[in-house]
Structure 1
Amino acid sequence: MKTLVNTLMMRVIEYFASKDMSQITHTLCVHEYTRLIALREGYKTRKVLLLELAALLHDIGCPRSKELYGNCLPVNQERIGAEIVSEWMPAYGKLAPKEIDWLVKVVGTHHQLPMAKEYGFEALFEADLIVNLMEGYYPKEKAALYEKNMVRTASGKALFELFFHHGKMDIKSD
């Protein structure tokens, strides 16, 4: 399964390199923070790997959304991203149909907190929120409000403390 993550990572990088280079760094950061949060929260190995795949794919709809609509608004990129995931993932043959369905739902709702809770992708939701704040898509001065209302995991809260409140993160060793 780790091979699938690496293979998909290269495909996503190649896709963004031909469409929108700015998406590469964003996607890799969201991937790493998602993985970190999921591991620190003690998620099972399969769940961590599925979250890694979802993190790599979460903004895959942005380039096509920009082409079709001139923007990358969540409503457009989520719908288009879900379509792309439906097209791409069966070809890999390494996921059960229900896992592909889960990825489609996650990519198609990744900006929606209620869906993050329902489908269990809080780690991705929080990682994307953190990176979007760091990149200036959301105002950093509202970080405390976002944290209070949208961050549920202890690890997400620890990252918010470190990045936006200049505290220290409790480092746990494996």
Structure 2
Amino acid sequence: MNHKLSEVIQAAVDIDAGDPKRIQHFLKVQSFADYIASREKVPAEPAFLLEVAAILHDIGIHACEEKYHSTAGHYQELEGPPIARSILEEIGGFTDAQIERVLFLISHHHTYDPEQIDGIDYQILIEADFLVNLYEDGATEAAIANAREKVFKTNTGISLIEHMFLAKTH
């Protein structure tokens, strides 16, 4: 694993200390994002920034709970970027453009409008988060089918949602 990624993970673990559900959530989203990006042949730098964003995508949740008594997605999109910026600046070695891309992804990870999805990294982050949330939230078959139709665009993401949720076992 890339040393910077392990530092980002540790920073997120420190912030989410005592909250195993949130730590496991971001690690699962990171893992799916990495897998999808690999299968979709995303170039190294955007794939790396995608993983950073996947680790930090919900980093503002505790701030949202304190400030709004809610974990609603639009609050996460507001509160997460300043915390993520602080983490990335403290770790160092990120360019301004890299930080801005990660913050953009965090500030839009609950925005599913296809016209706003401006890159494969954004699409993959949404798909990875959906895969984890559908499972963790015990989504209905109808909700899963709706997500498959309206959200998933990558071949790998489509294959994953179909294999995980829509395949009939013997």
Aligned residue in 2 for 1:161 = 162
AA in 2 matched with 1:13: V
Classify 1:71/1:127 alpha carbon distance in 2 versus 1 (closer, same or farther; 3 Å): same
SS in 2 for 1:129: helix
Aligned residue in 1 for 2:91 = 92
Within 1, Cα distance between the matches of 2:101 and 2:117? 13
Post-superposition shift, 1:45? 1.2
SS in 2 for 1:117: coil
AA in 1 matched with 2:131: I
Post-superposition shift, 1:17? 1.2
Aligned residue in 1 for 2:147 = 146
User: Are the equivalent residues in 2 in contact too, given 1:106–1:119 (CA < 8 A)?
Assistant: no
Determine which structure has greater relative contact order: mean sequence separation of CA pairs < 8 Å that are 6+ residues apart, divided by chain length.
Answer: 2
AA in 2 matched with 1:3: H
AA in 1 matched with 2:6: N
Aligned residue in 2 for 1:2 = 2
Post-superposition shift, 1:93? 2.1
Aligned residue in 2 for 1:101 = 100
Classify 1:44/1:160 alpha carbon distance in 2 versus 1 (closer, same or farther; 3 Å): same
Aligned residue in 2 for 1:76 = 75
Within 1, Cα distance between the matches of 2:165 and 2:116? 22
TM-score by length of 1: 0.89
Aligned residue in 1 for 2:135 = 134
Aligned residue in 1 for 2:126 = 125
For structure 1, the residue ranges without an aligned partner over 5 or more in a row are: 169-174
Within 1, Cα distance between the matches of 2:141 and 2:7? 34
Moved over 6 A (4+): none
Within 2, Cα distance between the matches of 1:26 and 1:83? 20
Cα-to-partner distance string for 1:61-95 (whole Å, 9 max, x where unaligned): 00110011111001111110011112221222211
User: Are the equivalent residues in 2 in contact too, given 1:34–1:51 (CA < 8 A)?
Assistant: yes
User: Are the equivalent residues in 1 in contact too, given 2:80–2:106 (CA < 8 A)?
Assistant: yes
Post-superposition shift, 1:167? 6.2
SS in 1 for 2:46: helix
Within 1, Cα distance between the matches of 2:168 and 2:17? 35
Post-superposition shift, 1:144? 1.1
Within 1, Cα distance between the matches of 2:141 and 2:23? 22
For structure 2, the residue ranges without an aligned partner over 5 or more in a row are: none
Tell me the number of residue pairs that the alignment of Structure 1 and Structure 2 aligns: 167
CA RMSD of aligned residues (A): 1.9
AA in 1 matched with 2:24: T
Post-superposition shift, 1:35? 0.5
Post-superposition shift, 1:140? 4.2
